[in-house]
Amino acid sequence: MGYVGLIQSIGLAEIGFEVVGVEIDKEKVEKLNKGIPTIYEKGVEELLKRNLSRLEFTSSYEKIKECDVIFICVGTPQDKHGKPNLNFVFSAVESIKNNLNDGYKIIAVKSTVPVGTNRKIREILKEEEVDIVSNPEFLREGSALEDFFNPDRVVLGFENEKKEKAKEIMLRIYKSFRDKGVPFLITNWETAEMIKYASNAFLATKISFINEIGNICKKLGIDVYEVVKGMSYDKRIGKEFLNAGIGFGGSCFSKDVKALIAKAKEIGEEARILEEVIKVNEKQPLKIFEIIRRKGIDLKNKKVAVLGLTFKPNTDDVRESRAIVVIKKLLEEGAIIYASDPMGIENMRKIFPENENLKYLFDPQEAVDKSEIVLLLTEWPNFKELNFGDKLIIDGRNIVPKEKRKNLNYEGVCW
């Protein structure tokens, strides 16, 4: 019952299915059964409470004996080599195997897994009366429920074209999406697995691409956002994921790109573009410090407001947030930090506990007032309305409106 699992459970319950959510963390189970969300996401609390009669959360795998379809939604964090750690996936598979009863079941893998994983799951369960379906998720944090109910596409990967029973059941589960005209791609395991990785890798590439263009534009005195506007009229390019700034974070892009690079190396192929995507992203937040050095500022004992801790607005997720890179560098340089975020403070505390050089403030205006330099790292809407006074503002997300910049001591990372 992590991010994907909870959204899947609530979504299916809202459609009308009875859902059992398995979670080994008993504290989470207790909260969810009381209608208390364990993630911050728009609409989750309302739908969770509304569907409690169709939802049951438990720490016992025995409950899956009552279920027809079992979705695996566990995390696949990367290891030190950039490869996905599949321990949670295979542990879940073993637990499922130990709790199967007589009768046919479908195991649908929503976890993001490397090519070949569904085939390995089949090997573990080769003697069981089950079909394995690759059903990757394409949820965006901050709008996950919207994406669940209105997906761009649904991908279903099967072992082969003979799996008619599994197809019929999976298509019945997602019938409401088909009725709305959502595109369905019926394919094999390996293709479905690769679709997820290729999709995230391409989006990450767009971000690193426009950040490189932004870096060039800045030195040439060109507004990269005017360039993006001109590019976006080309239907082949569009405007999505062309927001120049300090790079991407979150639990998916970096992990999935590195996983694809690792898979390429494993089979003797190079992934040069993807390797550069990661390099650009790792360097991009440090552009802030290039600006500070160019202005001749010594950060030792300098008071700095860090506004935005989550990797994007409308979530409490700080995984791979660019703020982590920035805070680490500020602490190394001896700055005094006042960090603020509407939702991310508690999660960031786990990474950087509060100390004499780092204070967390829920009021962003207070953080600005206490500081000499203001760093804007997440595009929370309320940051636009702050009174910055004469503080140096370094904007990493194009937050401050153009008309407001002319009266400020302002500089953008890429513009």
- Give the confidence band of 292 by pLDDT, cuts at 50, 70, 90: very high
Q: Are residues 19 and 163 in the same domain?
A: yes
Sheet holding 154-158, edge to edge: 69-72, 105-109, 130-134, 154-158, 184-188
Asked whether residue 161 carries a pLDDT value surpassing 90, the answer given is: no
Residues 305 and 171 in one domain: no
Dist CA 165 CA 192 (whole Å): 19
- Residue 80: which pLDDT band, with cuts at 50, 70 and 90? confident
pLDDT in tens, 164-183: 999 999 999 999 999 999 99
| CATH number of the domain where residue 123 is located | 3.40.50.720
Task: Give residue 401's domain range.
Answer: 295-412
Domains in the chain, number: 2
What does the DSSP 8-state code read for residue 139?
P
Q: Which of 158, 187, 216 is the last residue of a domain?
A: 187
Residue where one domain finishes, among candidates 136, 163, 187: 187
For the question of residue 252 being annotated catalytic, the response is yes
Residue 101 confidence class, pLDDT cut points 50, 70, 90: confident
CA distance 192 to 189: 5
Tell whether 268 is covered by a domain. Answer: no
User: Measured between alpha carbons, how far apart are the two ends of the chain, in Å?
Assistant: 41
Residue 322 lies in a domain: yes
Q: Assess if residue 225 is contained within a domain.
A: no
Question: For residue 32, what are its two tokens?
Answer: 């969810």
At which of 187, 211, 237 does a domain end?
187
Residues 17, 143, single domain; the answer is yes
**pTM assigned to the model:** 0.95
Same domain, 167 and 313: no
Query: Across the strands, what pairs with 130?
Result: 105
- Which has the closest alpha carbon to 153: 121, 207, 191? 191
Q: With respect to residue 198, please indicate whether it lies within any of the assigned structural domains.
A: no
Give pLDDT, residue 81: 82
In a domain, 270, yes or no: no
Average pLDDT (312-317) is 95
CA neighbor of 54 nearest in space, from 7, 19, 6, 93: 19
Is residue 162 very low, low, confident or very high in pLDDT (cuts 50, 70, 90)?
confident
* Averaged pLDDT for residues 14-36: 97
d(CA 328, CA 378): 17
Q: Is residue 192 part of a domain?
A: no
Give the mean pLDDT of the chain.
Answer: 97
Out of 73, 217, 252, 414, pick the active-site residue.
252
**What is the per-residue pLDDT for 52?**
98
Tell whether the model's pLDDT for residue 206 goes beyond 90: yes
Specify if 299 maps to a domain. Answer: yes
CB distance 68 to 105 below 8 Å: yes
